[in-house]
Amino acid sequence: MKVELKKAHLSEAKENLICVFLMQGEEPPYDVKRFLHDVKKQRYEGKLLQTYSADTRNDAKFKHLLIVGLGKKEEFRADFLRRAAGVAVRYAASRKENEVAMHLPSNFIARNELLGMVQAMAEGALLASYKFNEYKTKKEDLFDVVKAHIVSEEDVAEGVRLGTIYAESQNYSRRLDEQPANVATPRMVAEAAKRLAREYSLSISVFGRDRLRKMKANGILAVSMGSAHEPLLIRLEYNRGKHYPLYCIVGKGVCFDSGGISIKPSANMHEMKYDKSGAINTLGIFMAVAQLKLPIRLVGLMPMVENMPSGTAQKPGDIITAYNGKTIEVLNTDAEGRLILADALALGAEEKPECMIDMATLTGAMVVSLGRHAIGMFSNDDALSDALIVAGEATHERVWRLPLWPEYGELMKSDFADMKNISEVPEAGSITAAAFLKEFVGETKWAHLDIAAVDMVKWPHPYLDKGATGIGVRLVTAALVSLAKKK
């Protein structure tokens, strides 16, 4: 679907379906007010995402009207427009309308906020239009809305452009992350990264098992020992060789996580295809950054493996030496993400970036601590944390900072090696995992984003369909935009 600006008055909209977003108690625009005959009968009050629909009976240029409530004015935030746009697009799809027009509600929005609100509308519409139908065979049963117009008399084309870049980059990640493990092998993801590099003039290197052995990236090698698929490390770079500030993104890429010898319960194990979300989101971020033409250099490191049980798999009790020389006692082979990230973070630190951000579906404990509405953030730098918090509020991909006190690091010390990969105290699992990662970043300014609670959705959402979410793409992109402006 495409989102376009239609610079016109509401009365000039000629699409079959037009959607108007109203605050609770707000007076409707004159052009639609005359069609609100049975508001009381439909019990429409303007509550958030409450809808009212009516046919115009050929008494207007548009044929059908949808009103979507935005709730109380004092509670309004930009994400309500994302949600309302998502409701509008899905309503259009249910009516099998090829096009839908959405009116920009500018009467309560300050002029300096218009572009951001339009961006939110464009994002909501495009994110809601996404469907993963690649493996559906009855294509005649599928329907997609082709175009969404944002109707406004204001010149807000830049908001549409930005919303399109952010949302399409997120949808790109969602499509790739949704691929099942028999398709999305480490090699397949590397090929996707190569296509992205060609399209956006990125530099790319892909290191296989032999190169990883020479590098002594033993964390990546150890996790992959039980799999028939070769481990790979993907390195992407944007604006290589240019004199811009350098930033680094590291993404966990476990194409399927069975738990290895410490095998997971069978219930919901199919969801472990999403254990590559951090790496896939990294590709989406590169797609967005390249289109935005940010004045930065960006390096992305994506260790891609499969964690499987076999006669050659790593075993509980094994001791490995990570890339930076630290020894790790593997007490649980299902705590594998931190092993591959250890090598990648140490490599990233060698690049000497301004800061480094990693994304990982790292711990199930994150779902317990924060539920499904926030990303757990851990950092050694306040300014970087603040940038991610602000970006999280703007994108509604919110983060919550948790502590990294020295006491948590003490829990990761091993009796037989420098460290162990899990704490033997059944507490603070997400924090101790972050404390483990902190040992591999050196003096680099760093933030760890544990996206294990938000990488997928199971229940209805106003603009995210069931499955992979791509959450983290817009968040980190917005943070990089902010950081670039400060340099």
pLDDT tens string 305-323: 999 999 999 999 999 999 9
Domain definitions of the chain by residue range: 2-151, 167-485
pLDDT(79) > 70: yes
Fold match, 2-151 / 167-485: no
Question: Looking at residue 41, what is its pLDDT?
Answer: 60
pLDDT tens string 230-247: 999 999 999 999 999 999
pLDDT tens string 365-388: 999 999 999 999 999 999 999 999
CA-based end-to-end distance of the chain: 36
Fold of 167-485: Aminopeptidase (3.40.630)
How far from 189 is each of 173, 217, 222, 233, 284, CA to CA, in Å?
11, 19, 20, 11, 12
Q: What percent of the chain has pLDDT over 90?
A: 88
Q: Which of 264, 269, 258, 267 is nearest to 313 (CA)?
A: 258
Active site residues: 264, 338
pLDDT(285) > 90: yes
- Rg of the Cα trace of the chain? 24
CATH number for the domain formed by residue range(s) 2-151: 3.40.220.10
Strand 399-401 and strand 99-103: pairing? Answer: unpaired
Q: Residues with Cβ < 8 Å from 356, sequence gap 6 or more?
A: 247, 248, 249, 250, 345, 348, 349, 441, 444, 445, 446, 447
pLDDT(37) > 90: no
